[in-house]
A and B are shown apart, each in its own frame.
Chain A
Amino acid sequence: MNKLGSVLGGVFALFTLGWIVMVAIPFLQLDALEPQVDADTGDVYPVNRSGVVAQGRAVYVANGCVNCHSQQLLPGYADTGIVRQWGTRQNVARDYLYDTTMLAGWNRLGPDLSSIGKRRDDAHWHYRHLYNPRSVSPGSIMPPYSFLFEKRKVAGAVSHDAIAIMKGVLIGQPSYEIVPTDDARALVGYLLSLDRTHPLPEALTEAKEEEKKDAEASGAGDAETAAPAAEETSTEKGAQ
């Protein structure tokens, strides 16, 4: 233990072992993932998002939304998110296949956003919520993001996406409207695009788990469990 080389060598070897097991092997395993393509409907999930959605993701990152909101639903024993209608199933690696920045998060000061685009698909609700969260969600601790909006004089007709109108001080004075800036539009575009409810075979839902338990209990072989699983997938999609 007196030689520099032996200490350094040992530390290097153990550290590299940790990196290989924790990072390199998962990377190799997950690198081979492909999107899910349904043979009958041609549905592809997930899709590679670009344009306004990518810009919105950058706004999401720049404002540190990930410090309060998670975008991952855990299995049922660890998380009541599914019961709370935040999603339909736990999230798996393929849900984030094309995410250049993975925003799964680590904190829930606010609700989970993994499928917020499906849950709240009204852009106007999002604009009002960003401007003043307590106006649409009483008791919310989300800070107001009024700097994402601009106040300007109404020119002609009121803009269709204005969230509030304020009259001028004197009668006859022009009114002011509050409209979202490009950053707000991009952010809302990103939020509306979040939908991770598409069924995936590796993401067990409560129904699939029950089925699997029944199949194991009755001693059915793999082929028989595959058939009900396929039916379950199509009935789930039919119900959506």
Chain B
Amino acid sequence: MKNRDELAGKVPPELTPQKYPEGEMTGEVDYTEGQDITHQHAVQREKPEPSLRREGEASLGTFPLWLIILCGAAIFWAGGYLMLFSGAFRSDVYSERRWDPGMFFASGDGAGKGEEQTEKTSPQLGEIFYKQNCTTCHQATGLGAAGQYPPLAGSEWVTGNNKRLASILLHGLAGPITINGQKQAYSGVMQAWGPTLTDEKIAHILTYIRQAWGNSAPPVTPEQMAAARAALQGHAGAMTEEDLLAIPENDTLPGGAPPAGEAPPAAEGGAAS
């Protein structure tokens, strides 16, 4: 097979060895050091450095026709594909096959935007914060996981002394703990939430868990939580069962009106150990 230049009767000049014009070299190559060139057979027998056909000389046309057709077809296909499968470039279309052209003109359907919070009571707020922070371990049912995470439903630590409960939330809990008569049934570590959650949030959570799943105990107010944080400030590290029991039964958090008709908090926490 011959290339087009051969067919046209022209032999490309590049097939003869290159000669580098003297004038192009800016400065002498220093090869007085280094080894004797006569032994560099590989370098001597090399063909010249590769070149492109130079501009202005005879080349194979400005642009091959097949390439122009290929480009045109590719761009046409690309445009069609983008129109069909890009989901109108919206950020909420994840399945490119299920959308309609009307979405190009539709406004966002609000996906991804949080709802407005209407006025909610403390247990309702507590439920929201509980679901944001606690359900991964204690579950939405408050039952935890056997051997892994303690239950909150029916737990004497939840319904009992609110200062002990507050200390668990503020400082975390480490080591074995006995719940509902099961001795040392849970030996994990709960992280301290004091640094990451505000007093209001912890108070709402505690109110929620003390009144959910059949639990019945007085709520905890943000002021009580502030007092707890101040009183327990000196405690370093997580609480252990001994630390919790070291808080006397009748030492509850000051303030906070008990719900109407209920006995004082001190008498509520009767089921401990």
Residues of A in contact with B (beta carbons under 8 Å apart) = 26, 29-30, 32-39, 42-44, 47-53, 75, 77, 90, 92-94, 121, 123-124, 160-161, 185, 188-189, 192-193, 200-204, 209, 212, 216, 222
Q: List 11 A–B pairs whose Cβ atoms lie within 8 Å, in order of A's numbering.
A: A34-B112, A36-B114, A42-B128, A44-B131, A47-B133, A50-B196, A75-B94, A94-B112, A202-B111, A204-B95, A212-B98
**Complex CA–CA separation, A119 to B124 (angstroms):** 29
Residues of B in contact with A (beta carbons under 8 Å apart) = 91-95, 97-98, 100, 106, 109, 111-115, 124, 127-128, 131-133, 135-137, 145-148, 185, 188-191, 196
Q: Which residue of A lies closest to B118 (CB)?
A: A39
The answer to whether A32 and B112 touch across the interface, beta carbons within 8 angstroms, is: yes
The answer to whether A192 and B94 touch across the interface, beta carbons within 8 angstroms, is: no
From B95, B111, B127, B190, give the contact of A42 (CB < 8 A).
B127
A-B pairs, top 8 by smallest CB distance, nearest first, are A29-B91, A51-B191, A202-B92, A193-B136, A34-B114, A33-B112, A75-B95, A37-B115
From A39, A92, A200, A216, give the contact of B100 (CB < 8 A).
A216
The answer to whether A204 and B94 touch across the interface, beta carbons within 8 angstroms, is: yes
Q: Which residues from chain B contact A29 at a C-beta distance below 8 Å? A: 91
The answer to whether B114 and A160 touch across the interface, beta carbons within 8 angstroms, is: no
Q: For the complex formed, measure the closest distance between the CB of A178 and the CB atoms of chain B, giving whole angstroms.
A: 15
Q: Which residues from chain A contact B145 at a C-beta distance below 8 Å? A: 121, 123, 192
A-B interface contact total, Cβ < 8 Å: 93
Given A185-B148, A200-B111: 7 more A-B contacts, CB < 8 Å:
A42-B124, A43-B131, A44-B131, A52-B191, A75-B95, A123-B147, A193-B136
Knowing A49-B136, A51-B137, the reply to whether A39 touches B112 (Cβ < 8 A) is: no
Knowing A75-B97, A123-B145, A161-B147, the reply to whether A44 touches B132 (Cβ < 8 A) is: yes
| Residue from A52, A75, A201 with most neighbouring chain B CB atoms (10 Å) | A52
Q: For the complex formed, measure the closest distance between the CB of A220 and the CB atoms of chain B, giving whole angstroms.
A: 12
Q: Which residue of B lies closest to A33 (CB)?
A: B112
The answer to whether B189 and A30 touch across the interface, beta carbons within 8 angstroms, is: no
Q: Which residues from chain B contact A160 at a C-beta distance below 8 Å? A: 147, 185
| Residue from B106, B145, B148, B190 with most neighbouring chain A CB atoms (10 Å) | B148
**Complex CA–CA separation, A240 to B169 (angstroms):** 31
**Complex CA–CA separation, A212 to B91 (angstroms):** 19
Q: Which residues from chain B contact A47 at a C-beta distance below 8 Å? A: 131-133, 135-136
Q: For the complex formed, measure the closest distance between the CB of A230 and the CB atoms of chain B, giving whole angstroms.
A: 12
Q: Which residues from chain B contact A161 at a C-beta distance below 8 Å? A: 147-148
Knowing A34-B113, A47-B136, the reply to whether A92 touches B98 (Cβ < 8 A) is: no
Q: For the complex formed, measure the closest distance between the CB of B100 and the CB atoms of chain A, giving whole angstroms.
A: 6
**Complex CA–CA separation, A60 to B124 (angstroms):** 35
Knowing A47-B132, A193-B136, A204-B98, the reply to whether A185 touches B188 (Cβ < 8 A) is: yes
Q: Which residues from chain A contact B94 at a C-beta distance below 8 Å? A: 75, 90, 92-93, 202-204
